[in-house]
Amino acid sequence: MSKMRELSDVEELKSQLEAAERDALALVADLTEELGGWRSKTGSWSVAECLDHLASTNRVYLDAMKQPAIHARELGRTRRGPGVPGLLGRWFVGKMEPPVKAAFRIKAPRSVEPRLAPPLAHAFASFTASQDEVRAFLCAYADLDLAAVRFPNPFVRGIRFSLATGLHVITAHERRHLWQAWRVRRAAEGEAS
């Protein structure tokens, strides 16, 4: 298998991260601070809170993935195949994709709940910084056997994901909450007019 072909999965993940960042940029374009902090009801999230949640979740996932990646590097566990999730990982990633079905709406763990009413500009900057961190991780460890190296899921005790699954969860989770944030923005704009 050629090096280019082996890394096509990495390029696809980079492409998904770039698409999420473009989507987030479009989401906040011309959005006032007031509308960025608007909530449809008590307990729901604003656009800024969706972005803040994504930034926090990305960092928690990366923190859980770093030590296993470092250890795999020390052991020389380089690629033996594409960095894609296995069967269970694909199922989990699929459940993260929008549109979100009611049966798969779960309360965010406390560690990644968004801050209450973060400023929109700060939440967006935090999200884009987290994107840079995910890209840096991906570049640093692209040559590892992403489908075989496992890390403990930071939210579900006893579950271990492959690094490939973790990276795909991050991108699917971003699509999920950007979809949610767009719905909030449209509702806020409708309410304001």
| pLDDT given for residue 2 in this prediction | 44
The single residue listed with the structure tokens 């926090």 is 56
pLDDT single digits (tens) 65-104: 999 999 999 999 998 888 899 988 999 899 889 987 766 6
What domain range includes position 117? 3-192
**Structure tokens given for 82:** 């594409």
Q: Is the pLDDT of residue 6 over 60?
A: no
pLDDT single digits (tens) 163-191: 999 999 999 999 999 999 999 999 999 88
CA–centroid distance for 136 within its chain = 14
Q: Is the pLDDT of residue 156 over 90?
A: no
**What's the domain count of the chain?**
1
Could you tell me how many residues make up the chain? 193
Separation CA 163–CA 189 (nearest Å): 39
| pLDDT given for residue 104 in this prediction | 61
User: Which DSSP helix (H) or strand (E) runs through 160?
Assistant: strand 160-162
Q: Is the pTM of this model over 0.75?
A: yes
CATH code, domain with 52: 1.20.120.450
pLDDT single digits (tens) 96-151: 899 877 666 677 778 788 888 899 999 999 999 999 999 999 999 999 999 999 99
| pLDDT given for residue 103 in this prediction | 62
